[in-house]
Amino acid sequence: MVHSGAVRRRLTPDERRAEIVRAADQVFQGRDPSTVTFEEIAAAAGVSRALVYNYFGDKGGLLAAVYRQSLASLDEELLAAMDAEIPPHERIRQLVERYVGFARAHAGGWHALGVVAATQHPAIQRARSERFDRLATAWGTTSEARVVVAGLMGLLEAVVLDWLDNPTMAPERLVTLAEELLWSGVERLVDEGIVAPDARLVS
């Protein structure tokens, strides 16, 4: 007998991997990642626990994949802000505005990302380092640019996480304070051509 109805296409390994990452991201929303089990993630993705292990090795490997995917669109926005044809100080403001806006739009999972970023698993720290390397390209190709980006991102993470826990001021005020804090830290470096929020400005 021939059954009617479409047959679901078999997913490729890359598609299956992406599906598991998306499911994990949903499970982590609003929770401490350390309390989430592979069984929960496997159930959400509709696969076996063994398959999740097969793709990611361990929980740290899966968390690193979620970290990369969750922040990919944010990093595109940050790079666009730093590449805008406006003065460096205004680029910093755009950077902060986009960062704060993204965090507010993803508040449910933002705390989980903060926990993940602080996890000392090699795969997670490698993902974090690769992210800073990619963002640093907009500030120059030197080791100084890498240090500046790591400092700026660390500061923004801490400020925004604290604000999400204690939203005692308007987001516009938060943006202004964070902008001034960041700019005061890099203004001299930009003026001296050591680093800049646009690699084209570095001599």
CA distance 8 to 176: 50
CA distance 44 to 52: 11
pLDDT of residue 8: 60
What 3-state DSSP class applies to 37?
coil
pLDDT of residue 7: 52
CA angle (197 as vertex; 194, 198 as ends), nearest 5: 95
Which amino acid appears at position 30 of this protein?
G
pLDDT of residue 42: 94
Which DSSP string corresponds to 2-14? PPPSPPPPPPPHH
pLDDT of residue 112: 86
86 token code pair:
């406006």
Q: Are the CB atoms for 183 and 92 separated by under 8 Å? A: yes
Structural domain includes residue 202? no
CA distance 102 to 86: 21
Average pLDDT over residues 142-157: 89
Where does residue 89 rank: exposed (0-12), middle (13-18), buried (19+ CB within 10 A)?
A: middle
Prediction pTM value: 0.82
Structural domain includes residue 123? yes
What's the domain count of the chain? 1
Q: Which of 1-10, 72-81, 138-147 has the highest mean pLDDT?
A: 72-81
50 token code pair:
């063994």
Structural domain includes residue 2? no
- Whichever domain contains 166, its CATH number is 1.10.357.10
pLDDT of residue 66: 93
Average pLDDT over residues 100-121: 88
Structural domain includes residue 159? yes
Average pLDDT over residues 9-16: 87
CA distance 135 to 48: 36
126 token code pair:
């490698």
Residue 87, by phi and psi: left (phi above 0), alpha (psi -120 to 50) or beta?
beta
CA distance 189 to 97: 22
Average pLDDT over residues 123-136: 91
CA distance 21 to 66: 6
Does the pLDDT value for residue 38 go beyond 50? Answer: yes
Which amino acid appears at position 5 of this protein?
G
Task: Name the residue among 54, 57, 68 with its Cα closest to residue 125.
Answer: 68
Does the pLDDT value for residue 85 go beyond 90? Answer: no
Average pLDDT over residues 111-134: 89
- Which is higher by pLDDT, 84 or 6? 84
Structural domain includes residue 1? no
Structural domain includes residue 65? yes
Residue 189 structural domain: 13-194
pLDDT of residue 203: 35
Average pLDDT over residues 56-74: 92
